[in-house]
Each structure stands twice: as structure tokens, then as C-alpha cells.
Amino acid sequence: MARTKSFNESEALKSAMLLFWQKGFAATSLKDLEHVMALNPTSIYNTFGNKRQLFQKALDCYLHNILSRLFESLVRSKTAKEALGNLLKEVIRLHFDKSHPGGCMVVLSVLENDQHDAKTKKILNSALRQLRSAITLRVEQGQKNGELKPDIDGRIIGNHVTALIAGMIAMAKAGFSRRELETLIHSSTEVLLR
Amino acid sequence: MARTKSFNESEALKSAMLLFWQKGFAATSLKDLEHVMALNPTSIYNTFGNKRQLFQKALDCYLHNILSRLFESLVRSKTAKEALGNLLKEVIRLHFDKSHPGGCMVVLSVLENDQHDAKTKKILNSALRQLRSAITLRVEQGQKNGELKPDIDGRIIGNHVTALIAGMIAMAKAGFSRRELETLIHSSTEVLLR
């Protein structure tokens, strides 16, 4: 039988993702979802499941389409310092991109973790751990190439920069300016990695 | 006329604060509040106002009783390095303190800022800015004393460490271990301030 759905599934999911990203899990009502997805409750349920299942699909969509850009920014550059700078620039760029609600769906969901089941918590934790590993790896590559001093501990820098990114997002949401956030690029590439 | 309230107002407010701190504004229902405060809706309303007004009183209670400890940890120490180390230790200690829900009510509320009115957003922003100023000031004192090198920029360190603290809280909520978080003390005092 041919597909009879008259709506674009991935567009509807993207709309749900943007709403969860903006408001978090608890504050997003089914009514809100119906409105932004332009679907009735039955279509939402039949296609995406209940609110929790829809949230997990939206989170998956965020990880593959948005968070993935941070990982890409780390491999795009020639040097580890440049890579780290580009990573932080991408975090800032993403926050101020007018087509998005700003902030980060992962960080918001982590803070809201009382709302989530064990499976979602594991996905969130794993997203942050993957980011940390990618940073650590990039620093260690820079050491192997002779770009960075051997006395730097890549794992400690990985922890530090992961925390810094999550915190930058909190500061951005609190209203700190782009210029204030940009000072963190200098302190990370020139002070932390000097 | 003598006070006739038969409950302890500050204890009831503390219970509300702990619940908002754990769940955030959106996920906390009036039913939940009635339960933890052991009060009926009329008593809550007459004493603390509506949910938003109660939240603001709870936030005020958090700032004066919990966040204030971070500021105290900065002035308790002889050197700026020690002060910064103690600040980060206090953040970790607070998260793992079993009498609290962990995380931070300010950081959670900032991420949830879509839920809050302009007045609350201003209070949250100002709490982070005060923390940043206190860190900057402590670093600049360390420079005046000759403890820290003059080429460090206190304002940049202030931004950096404020972001780091907010991010540590996100990592702690995501399940990173105490040991992993403690590596940030070393990277801040020995790398950032070296």
C-alpha cells in the first residue's frame, strides 16, 4: 500500500525539535506540539508515539543535525588550537543563529534530568562524553604533531572545555553578550593551550 | 493582632526552594508544592502569592542561603589560587551534598528562561554577573599582591571561570563523577592561573 501521509514527517519532527529545544520537556505541552507541527493528536501519536517518544526522536534529530556541527568544527582545522577556537566559535554562532531558539537542547535536558527516563539520561550523558573525547583526541593529535607541549593533559583539557561549552550556553541564555562569550576563545586557545 | 499562622514560613519556603531547584519552574505543579510544603492552596497563596511569586521568593532564598556560599569561599582564602580552588571545590561539594537535589537553581532557571518574566531573568543574569565580578576582583587582588602574573586578564578569567562553574553543574547533572569534576580544579588553578 502506498504511503498516505499528507505531511512531511521530517519537517514536523524538526518543528517539534525546535520547540523542545526552546522550552524543554516539561514546559512543552501536547497542545503546543500540535500547533507547531500543524498536526492533530492522532497523527502525532501514530507517527511519533507519545510525548516522551517524540522527545527522544527530536533529541536524536538534534544530535545528528545540530550537535554534529561541533564535532565537524573540530576536524575541519589544521591545528589543534585552531580546531578548539573553531569549536567555541561554532557554539557562539549556533546560539546567535536566528533560525534557532538559542541555547542547547542537550544542556537544557541535562539540567531538566529529573524529567527524563534512564534511556534519555544515558543518551545525554553519552553526547557530552563524546564531545569530551573528541576534544581530548584533538589535543593529543596536536601533541603528537609537536604543535602543543607534551606536558598538557589532553583528558583534563577535554573535561575543561566540555564544561566551558556547557557553561557558555548557560551564560548566553542568561544574556551575556557575544563579545563577552568571545573572550572565552582567547582564554581557551591562548591560555589553556599555551 | 498576634500572628496566627500555625506553620513555619521559612521551613515551608525552604521546601518549595528544594523542589524548584530539583525540578525547575515548569515541571513543578501546585499539587507538588502543596505536598512538600504540607500546606493547602489557600495558605500557600495567602502567604507566598501565586506560583510565580513563590518561585521568586524561593530563588531569593537560594541566592541568600546557597549561592552565597560560593562568594564566601572566594574571600575565605589567603591566595587567589587557593580562593579559586575553594570556589570550585564548593561547587562540587554542593552538588554532592545529599541534603540538596544537586545541580544549581540559577543554572537550571537560566536554561529554562523561556518560562520566566523579565524581572526573574534580570535577577538570574545579575547573579551570574556578580559571581563573575567576584572572581575577577579576586584575581586582580592576587596580581596586586604579586601572587599572580600581571599579564593575566582578570576579566577574561572571570568570564572563563563563571562559564566553567555553570558547565560543571551541567556535567554533574549528566552523571560525570566527582573525580572527573575535580580535574577542573587543577586546570583552573594550575593552568589558567599559572
Give tens-digit pLDDT for B27-82: 999 999 999 999 999 999 999 999 999 999 999 999 999 999 999 999 888 999 99
User: Which amino acid, one-letter code, is at A122?
Assistant: K
Residue B132 belongs to some domain of the structure: yes
Cβ-Cβ contacts under 8 Å, B165 against chain A: 167
Chain B residue with the nearest C-alpha to that of A185: B160
Please check whether residue B49 is in contact with residue B60, taking contact to mean a CB–CB distance below 8 angstroms.
no
Cα A164 to chain centroid distance, Å, stands at 13
Please state the length of chain B: 194
Cβ-Cβ contacts under 8 Å, B157 against chain A: 187
Chain A residue with the nearest C-alpha to that of B166: A167
Chain A residue with the nearest C-alpha to that of B124: A174
Q: How many CB atoms sit inside 10 A of residue B11's CB?
A: 11
pLDDT in tens, B4-29: 567 899 999 999 999 999 999 999 99
- What is the span of the domain harbouring residue B183? 59-192
pLDDT of residue B1: 46
Instruction: Report the residue from B108, B181, B191 with minimal CB separation from A192.
Output: B191
Please check whether residue B48 is in contact with residue B54, taking contact to mean a CB–CB distance below 8 angstroms.
yes
| Contact flag A107-B103 (C-beta cutoff 8 Å) | no
Residue B27 belongs to some domain of the structure: no
pLDDT of residue A192: 87
Residue B45 belongs to some domain of the structure: no
How many inter-chain contacts (A to B, CB under 8 Å) are there? 165
Residue A24 belongs to some domain of the structure: no
Ramachandran area for residue A149 (φ above 0: left; ψ -120 to 50: alpha; else beta): beta
Number of domains in chain A: 1
Residue A43 belongs to some domain of the structure: no
Q: Identify the CATH number of the domain in which residue A65 sits.
A: 1.10.357.10
Residue B37 belongs to some domain of the structure: no
B30's CB contacts (< 8 A; 6+ apart) are B41, B44, B51
Instruction: Say yes or no to pLDDT of A107 above 70.
Output: yes
CA-nearest of B75, B85, B101 to B165 is B85
CA-nearest of B14, B48, B10 to B30 is B48
Cβ-Cβ contacts under 8 Å, A184 against chain B: 156, 159-160, 163
| Contact flag A159-B184 (C-beta cutoff 8 Å) | yes
Residue A125 belongs to some domain of the structure: yes
Residue B48 belongs to some domain of the structure: no
Chain A residue with the nearest C-alpha to that of B193: A191
Please check whether residue B184 is in contact with residue A159, taking contact to mean a CB–CB distance below 8 angstroms.
yes
HEC readout, A171-184: HHHHCCCHHHHHHH
Cβ-Cβ contacts under 8 Å, B184 against chain A: 156, 159-160, 163
What is the model's pTM? Answer: 0.94
Long-range Cβ pairs for the range A145-153 (8 Å, 24+): A145/A79, A145/A80, A147/A79, A147/A80, A147/A81, A148/A80, A148/A81, A148/A193, A152/A193, A152/B191, A153/B183
Mean pLDDT of the region A19-38:
96
Please check whether residue B81 is in contact with residue B147, taking contact to mean a CB–CB distance below 8 angstroms.
yes
User: Which amino acid, one-letter code, is at B174?
Assistant: A
The interface predicted TM-score (ipTM) is 0.93
